[in-house]
């Protein structure tokens, strides 16, 4: 990490958090090994775990998940062929118990577990969930490749990778494809399915772990449509009570722990949607919430100082977890607007922002670092990629003024007032936007008007290009740089401006970038692939389709009675082996 990326005001908390996290993880791992042999007497089976969330899930049905809040809930209900280990993000078997890959890397053959059943529901005969078969996997993938579902899940997962998927998608734009097939997916028998790729892919298994590729039952989709909540996971959807999304234990879940004990341990999960982070923190302190995320830095600092003994006890009552996130914070420029069609304008705004001041004074150090090396975060997972060689945007107001003058707006004269849309509910977003508003006015004479809307409305405004700028954040779907470059891929954008665009809501199109991006996906030589990634990243920086802000981090606090809970850089959560003691 470079010196500029050190969190000055939050340094003490970083040390405390790291110490608590490391020590508690050691205690948890030891406790699990010691307690599982005497699970009936020592390990508390059952109980309810309450998780704080800032936003209501927009949809939990695979294929329609576009935000992390929805992903947190959906991934407890639905399962894919493979999954991430929440501890280290390695790929582990899930509905597929094993698989083979051909020598040329083009054929993947998956063998399904026998006896895995969908949740009991009236959509099945006699209300009993039936066994999962290879035909269900085929049906789920055909559904993702059908344009009737939309195109986000398809674009971000199987587009250009599975043979015949693109043709199937294009066909679905014109006709009913329910009786058509994807040439690259073959059901060999009830428990065996085979995928043929268009080219070898280093990330195919990672892609299969995407929550949008959870396996669904045809009966459930035909009964509930896009409101389907019937999966195979450790928890079942129970109800929406006020601001609480309630999941209950799947008593017929297929998985067991290493000692043969049935999973999950918990009786229920509650995702509590909170009004603001301060009230959430109070609920946590009062024992009403077990796990909270993304707590504002000043609140955490105040919390620790007032309850330091609860963090220092052995074992501690409260535990802090903190990891660099595979996520970037930014503002989208709407490139269909005349004001943003000049590259010099977009570059000027980027040079006019003091990101270090935002991190130190507004975020109080709660960030991994300023986004001065592009969109792909300079995190440990990408240590083999020389991202710090990328020339990004540092704070240079003189250069910003020259670029704005070159664009025809000396000292901001004649520059229109811009509207920046951001979602309400997170005070951090408003505080950052207010600082950006101030900096752009002081450094360039540009006026910014802020508009706070609901999270749902913000997404719609973004997708349909209804504002000049929109606050946004991108969290990687899988731990690879390609997941960030996907945001700028232009071939996913319809020329029809009335059609939604996501995640490339800027509607950025650069044919040379698209060509390099496609080469990256097909390249198997690591050295060449890294070279192409850096080239693509530098190209996007030069075009500046976004206002780069900072690289994010994930900070959570959980009750010390919660064990086996892990956070990771892609915010993938699994509660099937979590227990309370």
Question: Quick one: pLDDT at residue 425?
Answer: 67
Integer CA distances (angstroms), 307 to 220, 300, 312, 554, in order: 48, 10, 9, 21
Question: Quick one: pLDDT at residue 278?
Answer: 79
Question: Quick one: pLDDT at residue 428?
Answer: 85
The DSSP 8-state label assigned to residue 362 in this structure reads: I
Which H, E and C letters describe 45-95, residue by residue?
CCCEEEEEECCCCCCCCCCCCCCHHHHHHHHHHCCCCEEECCCCCCEEECC
Helix (H) / strand (E) element for 241: namely strand 235-241
The DSSP 8-state label assigned to residue 129 in this structure reads: P
Query: Coil, strand, or helix at residue 144?
Result: helix
Q: Is the pTM of this model over 0.85?
A: yes
Question: Quick one: pLDDT at residue 43?
Answer: 59
Residue 438 to residue 443: CA distance in whole angstroms = 8
Residue 365 to residue 553: CA distance in whole angstroms = 10
Question: Quick one: pLDDT at residue 2?
Answer: 40
- Beta-sheet strand order (sheet of 185-189): 96-101, 107-112, 192-196, 185-189
Residue 185 to residue 204: CA distance in whole angstroms = 14
Integer CA distances (angstroms), 312 to 19, 20, 21, 211, 235, in order: 10, 8, 12, 37, 34
Question: Quick one: pLDDT at residue 495?
Answer: 85
Q: What is the pLDDT of residues 499-550, one digit of tens each?
A: 999 999 999 999 999 999 999 999 989 999 999 999 999 999 999 999 999 9
What phi and psi, each to the nearest 5 degrees, are found at residue 386?
-75, 70
List the chain residues with pLDDT less than 50.
1-41
Question: Quick one: pLDDT at residue 42?
Answer: 53
Question: Quick one: pLDDT at residue 292?
Answer: 93
| Burial call 186-206: b when 16+ CB within 10 Å, e when fewer | bbeeebbbbbbbbeebbbbbb
Question: Quick one: pLDDT at residue 303?
Answer: 75
Partner residues linked to 330 by β-bridges: 472, 548
Q: β-strands 448-453, 369-370: how paired?
A: unpaired
The dihedral over CA atoms of 344, 348, 351, 352, expressed in degrees to the nearest 10, equals 180
Question: Quick one: pLDDT at residue 181?
Answer: 96
The first and second tokens of residue 140, run together, are 């789920």
Place of tokens 């980027």: 350
Partner residues linked to 418 by β-bridges: 448
């Amino acid at each position: 990490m470079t010196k500029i990326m050190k969190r000055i005001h939050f340094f003490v908390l970083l040390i405390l958090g790291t110490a608590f996290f490391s020590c508690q993880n050691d205690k948890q791992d030891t406790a699990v090994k010691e307690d599982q042999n005497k699970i009936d007497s020592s390990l508390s089976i059952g109980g309810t775990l309450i998780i704080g969330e800032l936003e209501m899930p927009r949809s939990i049905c695979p294929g329609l998940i576009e935000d992390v809040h929805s992903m947190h809930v959906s991934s407890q209900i639905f399962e894919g062929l493979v999954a991430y280990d929440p501890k280290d993000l390695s790929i582990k078997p899930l509905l597929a118990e094993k698989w083979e890959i051909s020598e040329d890397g083009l054929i993947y053959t998956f063998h399904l577990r026998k006896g895995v059943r969908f949740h009991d529901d009236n959509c099945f005969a006699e209300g009993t969930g039936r066994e999962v078969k290879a035909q269900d996997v085929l049906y789920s993938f055909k559904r993702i490749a059908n344009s009737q579902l939309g195109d986000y899940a398809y674009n971000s997962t199987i587009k250009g990778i599975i043979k015949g998927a693109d043709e199937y998608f294009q066909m679905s734009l014109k006709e009913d494809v329910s009786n058509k097939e994807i040439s690259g997916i073959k059901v060999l028998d009830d428990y065996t399915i085979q995928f043929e790729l268009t080219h070898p892919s280093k990330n195919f298994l990672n892609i299969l772990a995407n929550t949008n590729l959870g396996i669904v039952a045809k009966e459930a989709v035909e009964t509930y449509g896009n409101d389907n909540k019937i999966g195979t996971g450790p928890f079942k959807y129970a109800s929406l009570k006020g601001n609480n999304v309630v999941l209950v234990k799947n008593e017929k879940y297929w998985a067991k722990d290493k000692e043969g004990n049935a999973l999950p341990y918990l009786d229920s999960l509650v995702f509590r949607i909170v009004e603001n982070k301060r009230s959430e923190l109070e609920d946590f302190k009062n024992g009403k919430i077990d796990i909270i995320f993304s707590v504002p830095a000043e609140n955490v600092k105040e919390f620790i100082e007032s309850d330091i003994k609860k963090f220092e006890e052995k074992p501690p009552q409260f535990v802090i977890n903190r990891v660099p996130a595979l996520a970037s914070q930014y503002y989208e420029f709407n490139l269909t607007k005349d004001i943003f069609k000049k590259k010099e304008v977009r570059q000027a705004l980027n040079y006019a922002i003091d990101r270090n001041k935002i991190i130190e004074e507004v975020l109080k150090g709660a960030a991994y670092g300023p986004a001065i090396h592009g969109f792909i975060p300079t995190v440990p997972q990408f240590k083999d990629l020389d991202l710090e060689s990328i020339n990004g945007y540092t704070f240079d107001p003189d250069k910003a003024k020259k670029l704005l003058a070159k664009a025809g707006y000396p000292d901001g004269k004649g520059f229109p007032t811009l509207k920046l849309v951001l979602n309400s509910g997170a005070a951090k977003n408003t505080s950052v936007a207010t600082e950006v508003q101030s900096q752009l006015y002081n450094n360039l004479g540009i006026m910014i008007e802020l508009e706070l809307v609901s999270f749902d409305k913000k997404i719609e405004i973004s997708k349909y290009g209804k504002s000049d700028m929109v606050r946004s954040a991108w969290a990687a779907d899988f731990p690879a740089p390609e997941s960030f470059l996907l945001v700028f891929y232009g071939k996913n954008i319809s020329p029809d401006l009335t059609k939604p665009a996501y995640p490339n809501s800027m509607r950025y199109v650069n044919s040379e970038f698209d060509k390099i991006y496609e080469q990256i996906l097909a390249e198997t030589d690591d050295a060449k692939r890294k070279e192409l990634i850096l080239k693509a990243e530098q190209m996007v920086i030069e075009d500046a389709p976004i206002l780069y802000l900072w690289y994010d981090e994930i900070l959570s606090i959980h009750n010390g009675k919660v064990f086996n809970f892990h956070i990771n850089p892609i915010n993938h959560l699994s509660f099937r082996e979590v227990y309370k003691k």
